[in-house]
Every structure is written in structure tokens, then in C-alpha cells.
């Protein structure tokens, strides 16, 4: 997306609540990755359409996306996983500040290690993956088994700053991650059990549904 078009689309984004603007400013000041404005608006619209009763999020960070998802569909129950203890506590504090702790539960731990705890909560109607990029495929494989038949799986950052579009011989961290995301995308779009569309909004969002 060129800069002019992105600027135009940004002008269509509605004003965010004060609490959300505060979290966005905090994330920017502390270099905490959260969804970009166009990306979060797309996710919220998807939730309004699908109306998932139970959402599983991998990668809480400071709780921004969980709170915005609940804003989009206030009847939802959200279980979200965060492995960084500081981010976990920030998320808990932010969720409690909005009095949403009865609808958003945060688990402290690695999503690859808390599977049993997550599965004890039953089946989910949406899975949102926004954590360690190199583990996306494992997250998908593990938790897609715990979804309802009509569930939607959303993977964020699948265009990875545009770096997935060109392979590089450079072995720095970002190019290695871009390669892993590219491999995930290839695996995803050829998955025999899911239809996937990659939407070029925000940092790239993949939407997957069962065949």
C-alpha cells in the first residue's frame, strides 16, 4: 500500500476511546508492538461480523488488542496468553482499569506449555495469533484443534514489514524472521483443511476458516 492511500485510509478510522488512545501512546513510547490502527479496525469489524462467543488470543502484550476485541463484541469471553511477566502484569492492570477482568482472563506462560490449561476452558470461536513469529505454525497446529467448527483463525504480521515479498541472503534476525513468516504463509495457504486469505492491511492479516 502506498503512503498516499494509507494516509487516506487512516483518515477513515474512527476516533478511539480515551483509554485506547492512552494505551497506544504508552505502547509507542515504550516500543511495545501492538496492532496498527488499520489492522485493529479490520479485526474489530471481523469480530462484529462473526460474533465469537469465546476468543483465544496468543500474545497479550499490554492487553490492548484483547480490550479492543471486547469493545467490538462486548458479549465475548476472551482468554489471552502472555509469557513475559512484566507485560502480563501490565495487561492485568489495564484490563482491571477498564473493569473487564470478568470477561478477559490472562494466563502467564508460554503458549506452547499451557495447552492443557487453555483446553480446560472448552472450545473457542476465534483464535488470534500475534506472538513469536517463528512459532506461528506450531500455535496454529496446536490450538486449531480446540476450535468450534465455524471458528475463524486470524494471524497478524504475516507481511512482516513487506519483507516477506523478497527473499534475502542476509542472515540478520529480521530477515530470518521474515523467512519464517514466509514459510508459514506458504504452509497456511496450502493447508488441506483451511481456506486462507491474506489481507494487505496493517502489517498483513491472514484469515483462515475450515474447508
Extract the annotated binding site for Mg(2+).
Answer: 130, 156-157
CB 10 within 8 A of CB 41: no
- Annotated binding residues, as ranges? 35, 65, 82, 110-111, 130, 156-157
Crossing angle (nearest 10°) for helices 85-97 and 64-72: 40
DSSP 16: P
- Annotated binding residues for S-adenosyl-L-methionine, as ranges? 35, 65, 82, 110-111, 130
List C-alpha distances in Å: 172 to 116, 121, 135, 136, 177: 35, 39, 18, 20, 9
Sign of CA dihedral 68, 182, 112, 116: positive
CB 154 within 8 A of CB 89: no
Q: Is 164 buried (19+), middle (13-18) or exposed (0-12) by CB count in 10 A?
A: buried
Copy the grid coordinates of residue 100.
473487564
Copy the grid coordinates of residue 84.
513475559
Report the distance separating Cα 37 and Cα 92, nearest Å.
22
Crossing angle (nearest 10°) for helices 37-50 and 64-72: 40
Amino acid at each position: 500500500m502506498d503512503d498516499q492511500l494509507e494516509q487516506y485510509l487512516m483518515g477513515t478510522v474512527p476516533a478511539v476511546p480515551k483509554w485506547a488512545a492512552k494505551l497506544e501512546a504508552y505502547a509507542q513510547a515504550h516500543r511495545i508492538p501492538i496492532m496498527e490502527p488499520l489492522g485493529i479496525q479490520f479485526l474489530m469489524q471481523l469480530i462484529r461480523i462473526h460474533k465469537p462467543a469465546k476468543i483465544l488470543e496468543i500474545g497479550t502484550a499490554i492487553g490492548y488488542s484483547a480490550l479492543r476485541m471486547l469493545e467490538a463484541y462486548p458479549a465475548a469471553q476472551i482468554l489471552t496468553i502472555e509469557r513475559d511477566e512484566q507485560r502480563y502484569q501490565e495487561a492485568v492492570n489495564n484490563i482491571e482499569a477498564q473493569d473487564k477482568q470478568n470477561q478477559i482472563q490472562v494466563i502467564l506462560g508460554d503458549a506452547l506449555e499451557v495447552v492443557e490449561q487453555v483446553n480446560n476452558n472448552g472450545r473457542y470461536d476465534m483464535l488470534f495469533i500475534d506472538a513469536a513469529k517463528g512459532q506461528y505454525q506450531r500455535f496454529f497446529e496446536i490450538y486449531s484443534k480446540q476450535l468450534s467448527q465455524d471458528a475463524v483463525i486470524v494471524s497478524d504480521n504475516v507481511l512482516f514489514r513487506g519483507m516477506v515479498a523478497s527473499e534475502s541472503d542476509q542472515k540478520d534476525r529480521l530477515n530470518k524472521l521474515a523467512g519464517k513468516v514466509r514459510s508459514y504463509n506458504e504452509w497456511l495457504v496450502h493447508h488441506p483443511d483451511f481456506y486462507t486469505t491474506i489481507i494487505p492491511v496493517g502489517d498483513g492479516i491472514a484469515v483462515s476458516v475450515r474447508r
